[in-house]
């Protein structure tokens, strides 16, 4: 893949992640298996993450000499804290949904046959609230991410040159 092709693809991924973050209603991920690399980064753009105990997650990009390309280096520290994020990002080591729950990346562990029901129950509970209040809470809680856009842009410029 050339730098031009990569930048085009990267822009599409960035737009998708941004659309999820800017969606006025909460977005819930239901993880029923593995979420590695971009799959794990996609989870970072969700407002809530529910997963089955057998789910495994990882940001493995470091193992092939690249950076997570969809703000993983900026959003993960917000979700789990700086030290834990550095460990996850620098080792590329997979971790369990239980570990993700313990460090704040995953909201809830669900039995496989209850995963979708649990996610939908949360969606229904939120939908019972005043829509404008929910939208404003989501927006207010997400404002901190904006300050990391400069770092994201810096990382994006260097992404294809690592290694």
Euclidean distance between CA atoms 108 and 105, whole angstroms: 9
- Active-site annotation holder among 14, 41, 98, 125: 41
61 is catalytic: yes
Partner residues linked to 51 by β-bridges: 31, 109
> What is the maximal distance between C-alpha atoms in the chain?
50
Q: Strands 56-58 and 34-36, how do they pair?
A: parallel
Q: Are 19 and 42 in contact (CB under 8 A)?
A: no
Euclidean distance between CA atoms 98 and 102, whole angstroms: 6
- Active-site annotation holder among 14, 61, 98, 99: 61
Which residues are known catalytic residues? 41, 61
């Amino acid at each position: 893949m050339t730098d031009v092709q990569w930048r085009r693809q990267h822009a599409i991924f960035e737009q998708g992640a941004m659309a999820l973050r800017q969606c006025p209603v909460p977005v819930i991920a239901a993880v029923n298996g593995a979420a590695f690399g971009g799959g794990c980064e996609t989870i970072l753009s969700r407002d809530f993450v529910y997963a089955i105990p057998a789910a495994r997650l990882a940001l493995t990009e470091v193992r092939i000499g690249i950076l997570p390309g969809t703000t993983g280096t900026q959003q993960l520290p917000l979700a789990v804290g700086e030290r834990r994020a550095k460990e996850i990002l620098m080792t590329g080591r997979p971790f369990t949904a239980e570990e993700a729950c313990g460090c704040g990346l995953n909201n809830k562990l669900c039995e496989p046959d209850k995963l979708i029901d649990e996610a939908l129950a949360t969606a229904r509970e939120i939908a019972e609230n005043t829509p404008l209040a929910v939208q404003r809470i989501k927006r207010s809680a997400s404002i901190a991410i904006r300050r990391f856009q400069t770092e994201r842009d810096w990382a994006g410029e260097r992404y294809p040159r690592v290694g």
